[in-house]
Structure formats: structure tokens, C-alpha cells
Amino acid sequence: MYLGGIDILVNNAGVAVFGPFTEIKLSDFDRTFTINVRAVFAATQAAARHMKDGGRIINIGSCNAERMPFQGGAAYAMSKAALVGLVKGLARDLGPRGITIKNVQPGPINIEMNPSDGDFAKTLIGLMALPHFGTVSDVAAMVSYLAGPESGFVTGASLTVDGGFTT
């Protein structure tokens, strides 16, 4: 049954491996790149083939694409920075069809991978203008805006939701 195509794609999967650069295993690097970059590319390519003109593509990246304030995060930061370049390129490729593509870059958000009461939370909060972790709802609100008609002239952009982490 054909339901009329795809309207919105949200690429929201990611992994992080942190540790001394000289000790990161290539298998961990490959897994990081595969999930954080290759999967986004593949899902976007597949969806774009069936997406309606005027569709929306939203990637969940990370503010660490722009700021990595501690050691051990090079592979993760690189993978999220790759999404910035992908979004800029795809804005040109998909723009003629009216399809917009954006990158949401959350900062410290209270999730299982990065809990607000975890060992590293106090350090992160000390780096933020708003001294508390964000919530999944903070990110969801940005995604909702970007999926809607009000953001029809926003494409190729990376929008940060990070409580001032990158300021």
C-alpha cells in the first residue's frame, strides 16, 4: 500500500567512545563512525528517494562538533562534525525539491548515556552558561519546530541546544 511518501526523517542515533587518543581501538572508531555518520547518510539517502517535495530531514548531532573542552573526545567530535558538513552539502542537493535539512546540536542533556547525576556532570555544568543539564523535551521542542512549516526557510543549518555550553 502506498501512503504518499515520506514527510519527515529524524536521524537520532549515536554512540560515544571516550578515552586517550592513542588507546582508542580502531574497532571503536569504526563503530562510532558507522553509527554516527554512515547510518545518517544511508537513512537520509533512502528516505530522500521517497520523500515528498518540501520534506524535512533533521539530524541529531552534538555541540561537541564545535567545542570539545576535554581530552578523549576526538573520535566523537569528529563524527558529529561530519554531520555539519553533510547537512551543508545536502542542503544544496535537496534544496531544489524544497526539502530542508538541519542539524540539531544538543549539549549536556539528561539521558542514559550522559546522566545529570553522573560522575562527569559537575564538570559539564561548570562549563555552561545555564548551570544545569537540559532535558529530552528541550531537544524535542527544537526538532518539532524544525519539522514544521515555520522552519521552511531554514536549511543547511546547525542549531545548538546546549545551555550555553559552546559560548
Per-residue pLDDT of 85-114, as tens digits, reads: 999 999 999 999 999 999 999 999 999 888
Task: Give yes or no for residue 2 having a pLDDT over 90.
Answer: no
**Which of 10-14, 46-50, 110-114, 156-160 shows the lowest mean pLDDT across its residues?**
110-114
Q: So which residues are the catalytic ones?
A: 76
Question: Are 39 and 32 within 8 A, CB to CB?
Answer: no
Compute the average pLDDT of residues 145-152: 97
In the prediction, which pLDDT does 3 show?
67
Class assignment of domain 7-161? Answer: alpha beta
Q: How far is CA 107 from the centre of its chain?
A: 10
Question: Are 78 and 87 within 8 A, CB to CB?
Answer: no
In the prediction, which pLDDT does 27 show?
97
- Other beta carbons within 10 Å of 49: 9
Say which residues have a Cβ less than 8 Å from residue 121's Cβ, sequence separation at least 6: 108, 114, 115, 133
Question: Are 132 and 78 within 8 A, CB to CB?
Answer: no
In the prediction, which pLDDT does 4 show?
76
Per-residue pLDDT of 19-61, as tens digits, reads: 999 999 999 999 999 999 999 999 999 999 999 999 999 999 9
Task: Give yes or no for residue 1 having a pLDDT over 80.
Answer: no
Residue 75's pLDDT band (boundaries 50, 70, 90)?
Answer: very high
